[in-house]
Amino acid sequence: MGYWLFKTEPDTFSIDTLKQQKVSCWEGVRNYQARNMLRDEVKVGDQVLIYHSSCKHVGVAGVATVTRECYPDHTQFEPDSGYFDPKATPEAPRWFMVDVAYQRHLPLITLAQMKQNPALAEMPLVKKGNRLSVMPVTAAQWQAILTMAGESCIVR
């Protein structure tokens, strides 16, 4: 099982939205490095920290599970979508998405709190200049974040 952090802007899609929908596609990723991780590394059963960004209260807000591996992001083919890509075709898609299922809310773990936790010092999120919307999380980092949220877990 893998561990991931997916960023989202809560004005567009939040952990509350995911809770209402129960399962949702994770669409709109338009960075090649993040796309490659979704396409090549994210697997069914992987655990995901849902991270609210570009908002007043930035931080980890909840947990989801990957329920469907990579498939073409339909928004790249929709001319009226903000994610439309004129170079993408159904025969040669450029962008991919996965499906995630809501697991639970967490008490907000802010970026400032995460930056102060030595166990997270090597996490890409807390390093300056890292703006990827999809990033891997180690088992130890996952454990540290859940501990910060008041949960105890054993990570394998």
Domain coverage including residue 101: 3-148
DSSP E strand boundaries for 19-58: 23-26, 47-52
Distant-in-sequence contacts of 86-91, Cβ < 8 A, 24+ apart = none
Whichever domain contains 7, its CATH number is 3.10.590.10
Q: What's CA 120's distance to the chain center, in Å? A: 17
Q: What's the structural domain count of the chain?
A: 1
- List CB contacts of 6: < 8 A, sequence separation 6 or more: 26, 48, 49, 50, 51, 64, 100, 133, 134
For 77, half-sphere exposure in the C-beta direction (CA atoms, 13 angstrom radius) is 9
Q: Confidence class of residue 154 from pLDDT cuts 50, 70 and 90?
A: low
Q: Per-residue pLDDT for 156 more than 60?
A: no
Per-residue DSSP letter, 133: S
Instruction: Report how far residue 27's alpha carbon sits from residue 96's, in angstroms, rounded to the nearest whole number.
Output: 7
Query: What would the pLDDT profile of 51-66 be if each residue is shown by its tens digit?
Result: 999 898 899 999 999 9
Q: Confidence class of residue 155 from pLDDT cuts 50, 70 and 90?
A: low
Residue 154 lies in a domain: no
Cα of first residue to Cα of last residue in the chain, in angstroms, is 8
Residue 61 lies in a domain: yes
Residue 141 lies in a domain: yes
